[in-house]
Amino acid sequence: MDFNHSDDRTMLKDMVSRFLADNYPLAVRNRSAESTEGFSRDIWQQFAELGLIGALFDEQHGGFGGAGFDISVLFEALGRGLVNEPFLASAILGGGLIAQLGNDVQKDILTEVISGKTLLALAHGEPESRFDPAQVTCRASQTDSGWTIDGHKAVVLNGDSADILVVTARVSGGDWDEDGISAFLVPAGQSGVEIRGYPTIDGLHAAEIHLSSVEMGGDALLGPIGKAFPAIELAVARANIALASEAIGLMDVCRDMTLDYLQTRKQFGVPIGKFQALQHRMATVLMEIEQARSACINAAGRLDLPRVQREQAVSTAKALAGRVGRLVAEEAIQMHGGIAMTWEFDLGHYAKRLIMIDNQFGDVDYHLARFAELSRTAA
């Protein structure tokens, strides 16, 4: 047993941390969060040149990583830096599906994704699907020349910046069937695709995407007809490891800021960290973050295990990220007091992202229920 990362991953982590410390102050991040796309194309290019996008793909697909611990190491560092460039949307979600399902021609896109020149987004969730990855009502019908796609995709992360959308649609079966779902490559500018982008409360961007009789050729289909679900589930699993790791990075920042504040802010003539009421709460914050971190390590380490073990570990990591993330965000604000309620003070920006991670790809309750269901399946 060895809980140290390999030299390569340690170097990756150090490189990202150094780059962010030198080039990514919060003021710069907040400025790009308010820009048209919600992130900086220029910094995205720099990330690509540093090889950070490639770290999320395996060698077979032109990258040099792509394992669970590559995801966790990178996203923890991105969380610490409160990075809002589209790693999750383009590399993990969109790129993840192409890597799993694409043919050789389709996989050529990944070279451009890894170099940062092409952006992807996964248009999967729908207005009523909540967190259920199998609930797809968007339809794809086969035509003489290919496919016609219709439907509404909701809260598509970075959907307003993508060059190519990976759109999931039902080709057969009922609304909740795992079987009968396909994924398609749809250029964002395709006729019949209407994209309404908007900012999110935590400084990202997403979009509502309406597809009305979108005509696609046969080459738009990813993988065998109607068999995309296992790949979607795995892409979502990787996304949840990314999000849980990002949450760990955010929690570490919130803990450090709060600890510093407790040691320096004086009221009643002493640093407020001298009050036992706050000391014990801070101790709880530290303990719970370590629990969330362990759950995250488990999930990253079990990514290649059989489905049920993998998915249980992923649900555990995301449930703990949600529960502990809320605890840490709320306690950090409360122990800071009024100052943490302000836009000017850094903490609130980390807290907003930390809370909103719970609303992506399954909140605490979704993953609790899912873990229990998987336990029943396994028994």
Residues in contact with another protein, counted by CB under 8 A, come to a total of 53
327 part of the interface to another protein, by CB under 8 A: no
CA-based nearest residue to 293, from 317, 264, 259: 317
Nearer to another protein, 15 or 368 (CB): 368
Q: How far is the CB of 211 from another protein (least distance, A)?
A: 17
In 70-176 the beta strands, taken as DSSP E runs, fall at 120-123, 139-142, 146-157, 164-170
334 part of the interface to another protein, by CB under 8 A: yes
Nearer to another protein, 61 or 323 (CB): 323
Stretch that binds another protein, among 3-11, 13-21, 162-170, 197-205 (CB under 8 A): 197-205
Q: How far is the CB of 291 from another protein (least distance, A)?
A: 20
Give the 3-state secondary structure of residue 66: coil
199 part of the interface to another protein, by CB under 8 A: yes
Neighbours of 88 (CB within 10 A): 26
Neighbours of 272 (CB within 10 A): 19
Mutual orientation of helices 41-49 and 7-23 as an angle, nearest 10°?
150
Candidate list 11, 18, 198, 375; residue touching another protein; CB under 8 A: 198
Name 344's Cβ contacts closer than 8 Å, sequence gap at least 6.
none
Q: Which letter, b or e, does each residue of 60-84 get, where b requires 16 or more Cβ atoms within 10 Å of its Cβ? A: ebbbebbbbbbbbbbbbbbbbbbbb
Residue bearing tokens 């390569």: 8
- Name which of residues 108 to 137 contact another protein (CB under 8 A): 125, 127-128, 130-132, 135
Candidate list 11, 26, 28, 201; residue touching another protein; CB under 8 A: 201
Q: Which residues bind another protein (CB under 8 A)?
A: 125, 127-128, 130-132, 135, 154-155, 175-176, 196, 198-202, 204, 206, 208, 266-268, 272, 275, 277-278, 326, 330, 333-334, 337-338, 340-345, 348-349, 351-352, 355-356, 358-360, 363-365, 368-369
